[in-house]
């Protein structure tokens, strides 16, 4: 049995992986998808003091209180920032890291360091227009998302504290000897901040690399294929 722990993306929460959860469980494995402070069912805890460290600690605490070891840690999108920090703090609990169309930061980098100037400016403009200087508005939903899924997602996404994008990650263990995989979503129609991480993983023999024919959130639009790849990686069969 494999134990998966998912670090979800920005503006999202555990609810966004509801299509994936039963598929993993039906295959005989466990999956935990902790919701970060200030999002999803924890939106009432949102505050200007929430940073990347807060979200890293949310997941670190889950690993401790659930007493989890040999974990396959999955980071999606912004969750790549979180997963990297979690692995750094709890390396003894992590068996493998899987990045799903995710940021892969180096020590001292924030998420805002990893996106284009235009993207940063767009976020600042949207934030200023709403009058909440400490909250960031969600990105648009990918165009191939079904109408039913858009309705489901739109009602549940929440603005995210800006400190989670601004705070640089602080890593103590710069050469983690943990097997790593990258799953790159190939359906892209606009600015793609993840292509450079996919290319780096594809060319690095220390990584295993996979494509998925999906837009940025395969947990929503292609859950069956995503689970197939995750299970194959965990089993060493991909």
* Residues noted as catalytic: 77
Terminal Cα distance for the chain, rounded: 17
CB 88 within 8 A of CB 173: yes
Give the integer Cα–Cα distance in Å for 222 and 69.
28
Residue given tokens 């079904």 in the structure block: 146
């Amino acid at each position: 049995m494999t134990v998966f722990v998912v670090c979800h993306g920005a503006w999202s929460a555990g609810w966004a992986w509801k299509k994936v959860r039963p598929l993993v469980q039906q295959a005989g494995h466990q999956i935990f998808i902790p919701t970060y402070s200030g999002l999803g069912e924890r939106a009432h805890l949102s505050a200007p003091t929430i940073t990347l460290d807060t979200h890293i600690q949310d997941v670190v605490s889950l690993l401790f209180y659930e007493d989890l070891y040999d974990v396959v840690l999955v980071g999606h999108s912004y969750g790549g920032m979180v997963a990297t920090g979690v692995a750094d703090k709890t390396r003894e609990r992590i068996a493998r890291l899987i990045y799903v169309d995710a940021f892969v930061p180096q020590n001292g980098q924030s998420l805002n360091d990893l996106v284009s100037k235009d993207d940063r400016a767009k976020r600042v403009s949207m934030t200023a227009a709403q009058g909440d200087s400490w909250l960031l508005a969600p990105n648009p939903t990918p165009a191939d998302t079904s109408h039913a899924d858009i309705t489901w997602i739109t009602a549940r996404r929440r603005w995210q504290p800006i400190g989670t994008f601004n705070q640089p990650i602080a890593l103590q263990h710069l050469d983690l000897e943990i097997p790593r995989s990258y799953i790159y979503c190939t359906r892209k129609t606009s600015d793609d901040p993840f292509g450079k991480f996919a290319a780096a993983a594809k060319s690095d023999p220390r990584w295993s690399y996979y494509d998925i024919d999906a837009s940025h959130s395969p947990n929503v639009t292609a859950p069956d294929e995503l689970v197939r790849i995750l299970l194959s990686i965990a089993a060493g069969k991909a």
